Chain A
């Protein structure tokens, strides 16, 4: 058959061309492709975050009122395209809603001074506190507390959450995202940029 072809090539030549072509193609395409998907490798496969998992102080448990969430504004340090260890730039301010379970002040805080908390008290308070992201679980719009309705409401598409951040109505597929939090002996409340019920994205 080979003699019928205008430019006969052997099977070996064909295979060699294929191998060389594949190698050249790989050299030309893999580095730029991996270069631009670097965040996917780091975030989705290596589980890294742009925000180091440091605890950031919000306030103290004594400040959180019954019946309504307290809003804290936090700027988590962010390391993304550039790393500035002393002067962080480019990070976004997050609003965090902190409330007591069902809006009720825990009984251990009633008629109690601001003395240091015991381990059992910290454990009990940790279970009764909600540290919520203010980004709607639907499409990420910032939600707000509406005193009149006693609900946390999203202005974009009408998602509604109760004071615990649990889903009440509207399009969100779940309740508000919950920050990992920590209560310390002096009553200090700290949050970390980690979420216990999903990934909110963007914030």
Chain B
């Protein structure tokens, strides 16, 4: 009885998934997105990319929440953060997650890069994904640094000033870059506005599609060589499933076609 209910439930779920798959392709898309074969040796190291993605998503979510209170003006920036930390419910938690996950993100993304380098996962045909990854790490670094200045406290201000001075030493364009980031020749309201735009709009807008490209290239080429290619693994998986289904049918323990007439090819 229980076996029969179980089989029926499975059939219903399966037919639902088939229905969705036929119309949206969501099942194969999810499968394609979630599963990536990796070598069993050191497999935990292959979670660093997912961890990075998770932390970036966390940054986006907590960042949006902080924007409900943060005021990007030289007179109110620090006060608004003080309000978040002392008055707003769960303010410390939200900002704490934003702050610490940003710090951890920089470390994790560095480890992810190191793993990619030492495991040789940057080699052909994955060079472009390495390049995209390098651009992503630069974007994340600038994001972390610009977030520092948004606090407009002593620590953030002086860190920004030092960073800006380093940038001003860039040959040919340093002077212009400094003026551009300052919004003039001194730090003031325009500076904070520009840092805000860079941190909240410009860099996330560049980051999100590049993460998409990074993931697409990962799916396209897989994490490793041909023995781990996704399409091959998927074909083998499908073949195995068909053999198993056929074996079940042969044994007469529950043919899918007999139960409800649905066919899974």
Contacts and interface: CB of A to CB of B under 8 A. Distances in A.
Interface string A49-88: 1110000000000000000000000000010111000000
Contacts of B158: 140-142
A80 B162 contact: no
A192 interface: no
Interface string B60-78: 0000000000000111000
Interface string B143-175: 000000000000000100110111010000001
Contact of A90 (B75, B162, B166): B75
Nearest to B74: A90
A156 B184 CA distance: 25
Contacts of A81: 183, 188-190, 193
B57 to A, nearest CB: 29
A42 B184 CA distance: 8
Given A39-B179, A40-B176, A90 B184 contact: no
B188 A39 contact: no
Contacts of B185: 39, 43, 49-51, 199, 201
B75 A201 contact: no
A139 B180 contact: no
A90 B189 contact: yes
B188 A50 contact: yes
A102 to B, nearest CB: 29
Nearest to A82: B189
Interface string A171-185: 000000000000000
A50 B184 contact: yes
B162 A78 contact: no
Interface string A78-114: 1011100000011110000000000000000000000
B186 interface: yes
B178 interface: yes
Contact of A203 (B73, B187, B189): B187
Contact of A39 (B74, B168, B182): B182
Given A139-B162, A139-B166, A201 B189 contact: no
Nearest to B178: A201
A155 to B, nearest CB: 10
27 contacts: A37-B180, A39-B179, A39-B190, A43-B184, A44-B176, A49-B186, A50-B184, A80-B188, A80-B189, A81-B193, A89-B189, A90-B74, A92-B186, A92-B188, A139-B162, A139-B165, A140-B158, A140-B165, A141-B162, A156-B162, A193-B186, A199-B185, A201-B164, A201-B168, A201-B182, A202-B186, A203-B187
Interface of A: 36-37, 39-40, 42-44, 49-51, 78, 80-82, 89-92, 135, 138-142, 156, 193, 199, 201-203
Interface of B: 73-75, 158, 161-162, 164-166, 168, 175-176, 178-180, 182-191, 193
Given A89-B189, A90-B188, 10 more contacts: A37-B180, A40-B180, A43-B185, A80-B183, A80-B190, A81-B189, A138-B165, A142-B158, A201-B165, A202-B164
The 4 closest A-B pairs by CB, nearest first: A50-B184, A90-B74, A139-B165, A80-B188
